[in-house]
Amino acid sequence: MVNVFSVPVFFICFRECLETSIIVAVLLSFLKQTLDPNKDPQTYKKLRRQVWYGTGLGCLICLIIGGAFLGTFYGLQKDHFSKIEAVWEGVFSLVASVIITLMGAALLRVSKMQEKWRLKIAQALEAKDSVRKGSSLWSRFKIGAEKYAMFYLPFTTVLREGLEAISFIGGVALSVDGRSVPLAAIVGIATGIVVGYLIY
């Protein structure tokens, strides 16, 4: 009988998707608590869209990389990814940890500074897209980072967790039939999303 469901792959995808779902839920809750959707619905909707766009783009990139990785692995029957696995994980872990640390520090003080954050977020969103010609590259970067912070945080988090799942699946894939990976990955991701939604 053909093995069409790999339990380790299911749990890997479930765990990583659940971690991502929790972070997205925390961001959405933060927005709901900080920006009252009834007082400033336009800003709230923009920031919510940023969270979802960042999450969606991160998922799409992970699915493309994961599909390419597994296709290459099973097509060539060689594990080329393991040579640079640590580099991928290290770079995305550093980027994600810096962003999460900065946002975490801000979230700890949010109860005291809720009104200040609401105004700051609204000002960052309303910042003009066209920065003055004399502005430095750093100031344009800073304005873009402030304006799209709610996009970058879920994007890097989803990308990091997704690449982590891909590397774990790559390790498991050495010992399982390739046909047992897709169904387990889809069910694991779907289960992680459902549990994350229930938590939110």
Tens digits of residue pLDDT in 41-56: 888 888 899 999 999 9
Q: Say yes or no to pLDDT of 122 above 90.
A: no
Cβ burial of 133 (10 Å; 0-12, 13-18, 19+) is exposed
pLDDT higher at 116 or 187: 187
pLDDT at 106: 58
Q: Please report the pLDDT score of residue 1 as a whole number.
A: 43
Q: At CA 101, angle to CA 96 and CA 107, rounded to 5?
A: 125
Give every CB contact of residue 155 below 8 A, 6+ residues apart in sequence. Answer: 54, 55, 57, 58
pLDDT at 57 over 90: yes
Give the whole-number percent of the chain exceeding pLDDT 70. 69
Mean of pLDDT over the chain: 77
- CB atoms under 10 Å from CB of 179, counted, come to 13
- pLDDT tens-digit readout, 137-151: 777 766 666 677 788
At residue 127, does pLDDT exceed 90?
no
Higher pLDDT, 154 or 113: 154
